[in-house]
Structure 1
Amino acid sequence: MTTTAEEPTTTSTPLRAGVIGLGWAGQQHMEAYSNLPGVELVAIAGMEDGPRATLGTKYGVTRLYRDWKDLVADGDLDVVSVAVPTFLHAPIAVGALEAGIHVLSEKPIARTAVEAQAMVDAAHSSGRVLEVAFNHRRRGDIEALKAAIDAGQIGRPYHGRATWLRREGIPALGSWFTNREMAGGGPLIDIGVHVLDYAMFLFGEPRVTAVSAVTHSELGSRGRGGASADKQDVGSAYEVEDLASLLLRLEGGGSLVLETSWAAYRPAGDEFGITLYGTEGGADLRVVDYAPAGELTIFTGDGESTADVHVAADPGRGHTAVVETFLEHVSDEPNWSRYDGSVALERARIIDAAYESAARGAEVRLDAEPGDAGTATTNSLTASKGA
């Protein structure tokens, strides 16, 4: 039975879950809901008739919808996962929250901070949980590095370089991914948001005070760096960046360089990770081609001798852990107001500022009064999210 703000969720019966979106990400949510205790996958929505029917059969789900609005309107859901193109995140999440359903959205939270704020506001007004799936921070190597930092092994991190780089990894030329209005941007908002999230998580969530960024569109605009779209084709020209580089100034004096690309002349494959410099040591994590566990090294010593340690990390549980935590938060009714998507909103504000900085050719501050010259605002930034 669907709950409302006046009818709290109870955990005496399994939570009833729906998933909107039939692609890889949506299937990760379906798998988690099907395997975790205390929840039952009861509804699936997506535009593609064949995959929808196939997934319904696989997971034993009979409530299959082409339109997400029908899934929400039919009621009887406690939680829903939103795993669709970015331009649909805000309208679906707001609609579900207003219907009294807790929402777990895929990353990024939305195309802009304006849309993200609308989602957070809807969570507040409905009294429901809103969370965003940052599954990379749930990798075993990221969690092992976080544990080392929290244990004081590298002291206080003061500078980092976080990356996700691809040789030829534009998701699909001509698809919604390369359409500025539909995607909100290129690799920065797509895979770069993961890098931003795990870097800020490792740093301990300091406030970003300023952003200086550059973006480049040199390969995708010439049809290089990715295959042409098939079923995702929307006939779009290449309207976004294929490489972005950022310098973030952090409260307390720290700094972070973030670099991300869908396509660049570099070693083949995907590579992501982070290098951290701390007051008592350092760390380097490198993951090549989605290896379940990356190469993690902790650097320590007293200046005369070194004591470097290679850390073996478990693969981690990815989306399963994300969904599990979401369900735990849904079951924690007294603290629902804490789980409101604010972390993801802050990521959106930083990305907005980065695109604005790239468009202006100047640093954008996030710590001055709204409207000041050189200060990031949360309106009308979409137009700057191109090359």
Structure 2
Amino acid sequence: MGANIGYIGIDHHHRDPYFAVASELDATITAVCEPGRRVDVGNIAAMDDRPDEITTEGQDMADLVGGAAVYEDPHELVSDADVDVAWITYRSDETPAIIESTVENGVHVISEKPIARTAADLEDIADRANELGVTVSPTMYYRRNPVAMTLRDRVSEGFFGDVWTLDGRFNASQLSYRDTDHYLYDRETSRGGALQWIGPHWVDVMPWILDDPIARVNARFHDAVEADVEAGAVLQFETESGTLGTYHTGYYLSDRGKDTHLGLYGTEGQALTPLHHDSLQHEPTVPLDITSEHPDWTAAPKRTVEFEFTYDRFPAWGDFVQDYFEDYFAGYETGDVPATVDDAVQLLRVLDAAYESGERGGWVEVEG
């Protein structure tokens, strides 16, 4: 029997692709809620005016939630609606309180990253969820990205030797392509801009590939003209084992899409890859270029693997996003999910340190 989903945050711009994801799962959206407003599920239309560059999937949104119960209060939904999972796409300043209610009612959670504004907003809730055995998971899709998974396996095997440094870049379309009146771009609601919204994907996946948490950061930001959050950020970081890294993220591109790069450099090998193309980039494959000093590679020390991503189940970014949600729903009852609430707290601690570094300058230790 499939899971019953209570979807909270109907006005969020990721609703359309997530409804499409849910329609392919062994799950049913049986209740919906936009806090403070009663939704007419029969008249839900695809979002054409969006605060980001993701295109609408073209499905009839109303059909995907036909018959769902409607709530104005998310706390009432999780206590009364007989749902197994709360799927939350809502503002970061109010999501922790909603998750607190879901945890106390024994309802599991999949929530849009970064879940909260700061680590302090989530830490006690995370402890309570772990105590009660309730699964709370952030949307860290890149943990199911085939290139990232391959690199993580290679690092675990010792293929690259000791990893000296990691270099990442994740840039997206300029704010002129986005609705900057949306709460995503409001400092009081979201805390930050590029680093807090698009940046978390790789702030999470880079140390995940290494299986080595970020221990300290040095960050610089520049503010946006169109909003009161930053347009971009540059991070230097050091992991617990001493690997040095850099990360550059921002709303910079003069066209819709992504500009991405990941470089990994070790004592016995290196890897270069964009890690990801979204469907807007019209690239047929994602290359992974590897150079190795291993004796078995002497005849061909430089090799390229071309990953032919599919976009059938999640057209905007690629089907690995659908894989992420399928893995969550397969494992939420036991806690065997791609990313946990503790991973979300760790991510927020790194972001906390980055914003503190931006304010006072210099290196800042990541708490915990």
Same fold, TM-score > 0.5, yes or no: yes
Q: Are 1:354 and 2:354 matched, yes or no?
A: yes
Equivalent residue in structure 2 for 1:197, among 191, 196, 204: 204
Q: How many residues align?
A: 334
Instruction: Give per-residue Cα distances to partners, 1:24-50, cap 9 Å, x unaligned.
Output: 43344433333223x333122235846
Separation in 2, partners of 1:42, 1:162 = 40
Deviates more, 1:44-53 or 1:310-319: 44-53
2:306 aligns with 312
Shift of 1:329: 2.5
- Of structures 1 and 2, the one scoring higher in RCO (CA 8 A, sep 6+) is 1
Give, in whole Å, the separation in 2 of the partners of 1:159 and 1:75: 49
Residue 52 of structure 2 aligns with which residue?
none
Question: How far is 1:82 from its partner?
Answer: 0.7
Is the aligned partner of 1:14 residue 2:2? Answer: yes
Is 1:183 aligned to residue 190 of structure 2? Answer: yes
Q: Distance in 1 between matches of 2:40 and 2:137?
A: 29
Equivalences for 1:108-119 in 2 at 5 Å?
108-119=114-125
Distance 1:141 1:215 in 2: 29
CA pair 66-178 structure 1, distance change in 2 beyond 3 A: same
Q: 1:309 to 1:83 in 2, by over 3 A?
A: same
1:135 maps to: 141
Match 1:297 to one of 289, 297, 300: 289
Q: Which amino acid letter does the alignment assign opposite residue 184 of structure 1?
A: R
**CA deviation after TM superposition for structure 1 residue 241, in Å:** 1.1
Deviation at 1:109, TM superposition (A): 2.4
Q: Contact 1:299–1:308 (CA<8 Å) still a contact in 2? A: yes
Structure 1 pair 113/31, CA: closer, same or farther in 2 (3 Å)?
same
CA gap of 1:89–1:52, structure 2 versus 1, over 3 A, is: farther
Q: Greater CA deviation, 245-254 or 21-30?
A: 21-30
* Stretch moving more, 308-317 or 250-259: 308-317
Q: Distance in 2 between matches of 1:211 and 1:359?
A: 13
Displacement of 1:76 in angstroms is 0.6
1:168 and 1:134 map into 2 onto residues whose CA distance is 23
When structure 1 is superposed on structure 2, of 174-183 and 323-332 the one drifting more is 323-332
1:262 partner SS: strand
Matching of residues 236-247 of structure 1 within 5 Å: 238-247=227-236
Equivalent position of 1:69 in the other structure: 75
- Alignment map for 1:83-232 (pairs within 5 Å): 83-166=89-172, 168-169=174-175, 171-204=178-211, 206-217=212-223, 220-221=224-225, 223=226
Cα distance in 2 for residues equivalent to 1:349 and 1:177: 19
For 1:242 and 1:349, how far apart are their aligned partners in 2? 21
Counterpart contact for 1:154–1:299, Cα < 8 Å: no
- Aligned-partner Cα distance in 2 for 1:337–1:297: 29
Aligned to 1:383: none
Report Cα offsets for 1:241-300 as digits up to 9, x if no partner.
Answer: 111111111122211111111137x88852123111012111111145555853321122
Residue number in structure 2 paired with 1:57: 63
1:40 partnered with 2:44: no
Give the partner amino acid of 1:193: P
Residues 65 and 319 (structure 1), Cα distance of their counterparts in 2 relative to 1, 3 Å cut: farther
Q: Percent identity?
A: 24
Q: 1:26 touches 1:82 (CA, 8 Å); kept in 2?
A: no
Distance 1:80 1:300, change over 3 A: same
Following superposition, the deviation at residue 362 of structure 1 comes to 1.6
Whole-angstrom CA distance in 1 between matches of 2:157 and 2:336:
30
Q: 1:52 to 1:118 in 2, by over 3 A?
A: farther
Aligned pair in 2 of structure 1 residues 262, 298: CA closer, same or farther (>3 Å)?
same
Cα-Cα RMSD: 2.9
Q: Give the whole-Å Cα distance in 2 for the aligned partners of 1:201 and 1:52.
A: 41
Superposition deviation, residue 156 in structure 1 = 3.2
Match of 2:263 among 258, 268, 275: 275
Distance in 2, matches of 1:338 and 1:135, equals 8
CA distance in 2, matches of 1:89, 1:338: 20
TM-score normalised to structure 2 length: 0.80
Which deviates the most, 20-29 or 273-282?
20-29
Does the 8 Å CA contact 2:31/2:81 hold for their aligned counterparts?
A: no
Q: How far 1:211 moved relative to its partner?
A: 1.1
Separation in 1 of the partners of 2:219 and 2:349?
14
* CA positional deviation for 1:301: 4.0
Partner in structure 1 of residue 87 of structure 2: 81
CA distance in 2, matches of 1:48, 1:142: 41
